[in-house]
Structure 1
Amino acid sequence: MIQQATFLFISGAEIAFILFIVIMVFGADKLPEIARGLGKGMRTLKDATNDIKHEITKTAEKNGIDTSITDDVKKELNKVKDDLDDFTGSVKRKF
C-alpha cells in the first residue's frame, strides 16, 4: 500500500485563508518585508546546500572515490519518472 504525504498539497482556498491570517496578524505593510526575508533565507539555504554538495564532490574526487554512480542513479530515476508520467498521463486522459 502506497501512502502519500498530503501535507504539501494545499488547495487554493487554504492558501487564501493562510494569506488572510498572515495579513491580519502582521499587517499589509509588513508583508513585503517578511517575504523579502523569507526569500533571502531560502537563497542562503540553497547556496549553503550547493556549497556542501560541491565540497563533498571535490573531496570524493580528491580521494579517488567514484562519483559517477550518482549520475547513473539520477538517469535511472529520471527514466522511471518519465515512464510513470507516461503511464499516469494515459490514465488521466481516460477519466
Structure 2
Amino acid sequence: MLTTLAFLGGLGGWEILLILIVLLVFFGAKKIPELARGLGRGIREFKDATREIKNEIEEGVKDDKK
C-alpha cells in the first residue's frame, strides 16, 4: 500500500478526481467494478506465482546445503 501512496503522492486531488471522471465516462459505472475485480485477480495470481517461485528457490538452497 505504501508504494501505491508513493505513486499517488505526485498527484493532487484535482488530478485524481479528473482521472476518476474520465474512467467513469469511458467505461461507465457498471464496467468499473468488473475491471477492478479483474485487476485484483491478476495481482493475486502474480503474487501467488512469485510466492511459489520464492519457495522453490528456498527449497533448492536448502537441498544444496544438505
5 Å-filtered alignment, 1:1-95, equals: 8=7, 9=9, 10-64=11-65
The count of residues paired between Structure 1 and Structure 2 equals 59
By percentage of residues, which structure has more helix? Answer: 2
Post-superposition shift, 1:64? 1.1
Mark the runs of 5 or more structure 1 residues left unpaired by the alignment. Answer: 1-6, 66-95
Give distance in 1, aligned partners of 2:56 and 2:43.
20
Post-superposition shift, 1:40? 0.4
> What value does the CA root-mean-square deviation take over the aligned residues?
1.9
Give distance in 1, aligned partners of 2:26 and 2:43.
22
Q: 1:28 aligns to what SS in structure 2? A: coil
Q: Percent identity?
A: 44
The structure whose Rg is larger is 1
Q: State TM-score, norm by structure 1.
A: 0.55
Higher relative contact order (CA 8 A, sep 6+): 2
- Runs of 4+ aligned residues of structure 1 deviating over 3 Å after TM superposition are none
